[in-house]
Structure 1
Amino acid sequence: MENICKNISQKNIISIACVNTQKHITISGNKYAITKAIKIFKILGAKIIPLNINIPIHCILMKPIIKQFHNLLNTIKIKKPIIPYVNNVDVKFETHPEKIKNALIRHIYCTVHWYNCMKYIEKKHIFNFIEFNTCNILNKFSQHITKKNNVITLYNQQMLDIALKKYLFKT
């Protein structure tokens, strides 16, 4: 998959956006390059599921907004977290606020290594997760990686209350 993206991107821009599982990988780029890649991947037997996304997220095409996003992040005070932030670009924990900001910026235009992050976290013997999302897609991906995970997806106040009782207010 990486070689196909490199060959196509010699004239167009396309890259691997996310490695979610060993069998679920997303690509991002300009429309022509994506269309060309889809044709090649179909010939090779890949299952294609187009995503309803109108921006080339996790791709260098997003670099023009980096300064604007950086300025926005500078208006937010990020404190040293109690629980380390999982940098899904470099696949490591971050605790320094500036490194977290840098990782968030690069998250916009670099490949997200969700699969490797889950394996990294698993090696650290961490199996309880809270996902902040309107759907539980990361939960579904994590179940393909390891069956040990206990994931709760928060998408409204009721789910937040359940998570707080379950994880923070154990009696």
Structure 2
Amino acid sequence: MSTSTAFIFPGQGSQSVGMLADIADVEPVVNETLVEASDVLGFDLRNMILNGPAEQLNSTQNTQPALLAGSIALWRLWSARGGQVPAYVAGHSLGEYSALVAAGVIEFADAVRIVHNRGLYMQEAVPQGEGAMAAVLGLDDDKVIALCAETAHPGEVLSAVNFNSPGQVVIAGSASAVKRAVETFSAAGARKVMPLPVSVPSHCALMEPAAVRLEQDLAGITFSVPQIPVVQNVSAAIVTDVNALRANLVDQLSQPVRWVESVQLMIANGVDQFYECGPGKVLAGLSKRIDRSATVTPLESLSAFPMVGEG
């Protein structure tokens, strides 16, 4: 096992119609993984991924299994080509499920079902239009946390939910509070406050009803001891206890993603090469802003994979 590599798996926002199409055309393991996910769900997820329409793919209950399937397809291809086993795995938000599958903690089929339901529960937890998210650029974490507390009115939810990179924090909560935050955060010195095109206010207290339903689902599937160390979002720590792994997935729905700390922990433990295992390059960009010395290779092109036997 290498002591210098880590696989990081992306979350929502990395999806696009046609993602992985070029690889799926020439690598049977990728196509087979997309078909397997379709069979689990009982509808043609593979066709939705490759051909759209975008409106369906971007519906959160479809986005989540689509990204999981795409990430695990690339993970399986890496393994089939004799790629090096990483020292650590981690995933951003939804991506944590891909990391747990890669680490042997949960079975792929179970994960596909769980994240499909997770998307439904998240959508149903907050009526359309009542929740929102925004990205805040140019303020430090403590300032964002303090401004959330100052900006929210009684009865509203507003919190810092994704600590993505230094100077980039995502806030989420009641739509009225997020709308107000665009003005108050700018006045407080934020370089930019950008409302995000999402229908679900992830990782805040509004997701607690979804977390209750998710906990019931997770109780019904088997968790195994990780074969590769997993760094989880909620704790930004390496977690090996199966009960803690399960509990952290529940808490993750309503608590922040501590991505900066997660990446810093892996670097502190000797990681100098990251592979972004999934569509897009979102995490590559974040990781470089967290630590400029980090090398991040997106695995969305066949050229990034070893030839068979190269390891």
TM-score (norm 2): 0.49
After TM superposition, the structure 1 = structure 2 runs for residues 141-152 of structure 1, keeping only pairs within 5 Å, are 141-152=286-297
1:138 and 1:169 map into 2 onto residues whose CA distance is 28
After TM superposition, the structure 1 = structure 2 runs for residues 33-48 of structure 1, keeping only pairs within 5 Å, are 33-46=177-190, 47-48=192-193
In the other structure, the counterpart of 2:149 is 6
Q: Give per-residue Cα distances to partners, 1:14-44, cap 9 Å, x unaligned.
A: 0001111111000000100101111111212
Give the 3-state SS of the residue equivalent to 1:80 in structure 2: coil
User: Among the aligned pairs, what percent are the same residue?
Assistant: 23
1:86 and 1:169 map into 2 onto residues whose CA distance is 28
Residue identity opposite 2:152 in structure 1: S
How well do the aligned residues superpose, as a CA RMSD in angstroms? 2.2
1:69 is the counterpart of 2:214: yes
In the other structure, the counterpart of 1:103 is 248
Residue identity opposite 2:231 in structure 1: V
Q: Larger deviation: 118-127 or 69-78? A: 69-78
Larger radius of gyration: 2
Unaligned 5+ segments in structure 1 are none
2:224 and 2:275 map into 1 onto residues whose CA distance is 19
Give the 3-state SS of the residue equivalent to 1:20 in structure 2: strand
- Equivalent pair of 2:152/2:158 in contact (CA under 8 Å): yes
- Equivalent pair of 2:201/2:207 in contact (CA under 8 Å): yes
Give the 3-state SS of the residue equivalent to 2:253 in structure 1: helix
1:126 Cα shift? 1.4
After TM superposition, the structure 1 = structure 2 runs for residues 128-139 of structure 1, keeping only pairs within 5 Å, are 128-139=273-284
Match among 5, 24, 32 for residue 168 of structure 2: 24
Distance 1:101 1:28, change over 3 A: same
Residue identity opposite 1:25 in structure 2: V
Give the 3-state SS of the residue equivalent to 2:223 in structure 1: coil
With a CA cutoff of 8 Å and minimum separation of 6, indicate the structure with the bigger relative contact order.
Answer: 2
Q: Give per-residue Cα distances to partners, 1:96-155, cap 9 Å, x unaligned.
A: 222111111111110111111111111101133333443221111001111333334456
1:169 Cα shift? 4.7
Give the 3-state SS of the residue equivalent to 1:109 in structure 2: coil
- Equivalent pair of 2:210/2:253 in contact (CA under 8 Å): no
1:55 is the counterpart of 2:200: yes
Residue identity opposite 1:9 in structure 2: A
2:167 and 2:309 map into 1 onto residues whose CA distance is 37
Unaligned 5+ segments in structure 2 are 1-143
1:55 Cα shift? 0.7
2:214 and 2:158 map into 1 onto residues whose CA distance is 22
Give the 3-state SS of the residue equivalent to 1:25 in structure 2: strand
1:7 Cα shift? 1.9
2:309 and 2:216 map into 1 onto residues whose CA distance is 37
In the other structure, the counterpart of 2:234 is 89
